[in-house]
Structure formats: structure tokens, C-alpha cells
Amino acid sequence: MTHIRSTLMAALAAVGIFASAPAFAQSAVCQDGQKLLLERQGLVKQFTDLTGGGKKKNVDPRPACTILTKMAANGETTLKWMSTNKDWCQVPDQAVESFTEDNKRVQTIKGQACGAAAKVAEAEKRAKQQAQQGGNRMGGGLTGTLSVPKGAL
């Protein structure tokens, strides 16, 4: 997780490079790239907040999957933008390479998080079904009450 943040920060440092490039001020295309990177920075912050900065051991995979899916989509769009506008917007090769590697890691983590989210959803579904089935077999389920037979014992 820490490696992802560091490479993301390197890629986001490219935003500063874009801002200093003469073509950047003249081109809306270069500003589009900055918007994509700022969006990515927001997604990274959401993910970092979710994981408690890497301190949380148990993270709910469902919101992680959602954030990582958005981050992966942003990465694909940004990589497409970089390959098209790299020269015009003076994006360093190292920034493109770093971002490409980072996006591969995001894809991998996204697969793991979304796989875990699917398992959690399936387990919840099974538990709900078992609770409903169990309630029918036990005459209303476990209510915490016990019926005592009436009459002489």
C-alpha cells in the first residue's frame, strides 16, 4: 500500500511539471491531464482514509472495491491521455512509466478487493437464507423464550 502511495505521489508530482510547462498554460488538453491527476489524487485520499493510512488491518472490501474500480478507470483514461499528449504537454517518460506501473498495481489490488467483496456479499446472502430457513424449521426461530408444556408433569 505504501508503495502505491509513493508512486502515485510521483505521478502527481508530474502535475507540477505540467504547470511549469509553457504549453500547459496554452492548452486545454494539458489542463485535462491535470484534472485527471487531481481526480486520481482525490481517489487516493479516499482509499487512504478507508485504510486508515495503512494502519487498519481489517478493511471492508466493498467500499475498497468501489474506490479502486474508480481509480482503475481513472488510470486507464489518464494513460490514454498521457500516450496521446505526452509530447505536447511535456510529460516526462519517467512519470508515464511510474504511472503505468502504479495502475497495474491498482488493477491487481482492485481484483483482490472486489473478489473479497463478492465473497462477503455471498456469505451475507447465505447467512440470510439460513436464518430464514432456520426460522421456518424451528417454529419462528430463536426468540429467547421457552414454552413450558401445560398440565401435570
pLDDT value at position 153? Answer: 56
Instruction: Give the chain's mean pLDDT.
Output: 79
Q: What share of the chain is helix, strand, coil (3-state, %, to 5)?
A: 75, 0, 25
pLDDT per residue over 22-69, tens digit each? Answer: 444 457 889 999 999 999 999 999 999 998 877 777 888 999 999 999
Residue 59 and residue 50 in contact, taking contact as beta carbons nearer than 8 Å: yes
Is pTM beyond 0.95? Reply is no
Q: What is the mean pLDDT of residues 94-111?
A: 95
Please say if the pLDDT value at position 2 is more than 50: no
Q: How far apart are CA 134 and CA 149, in angstroms?
A: 23
Element (H, E) at 110: helix 93-137
pLDDT band for position 132 (cuts 50, 70, 90): confident
Q: How far apart are CA 25 and CA 31, in angstroms?
A: 8
Q: What is the mean pLDDT of residues 127-140?
A: 69
Nearest to 86, CA basis, from 10, 9, 27: 27
pLDDT value at position 145? Answer: 58
- The amino acid present at 53, given as its one-letter code, is G
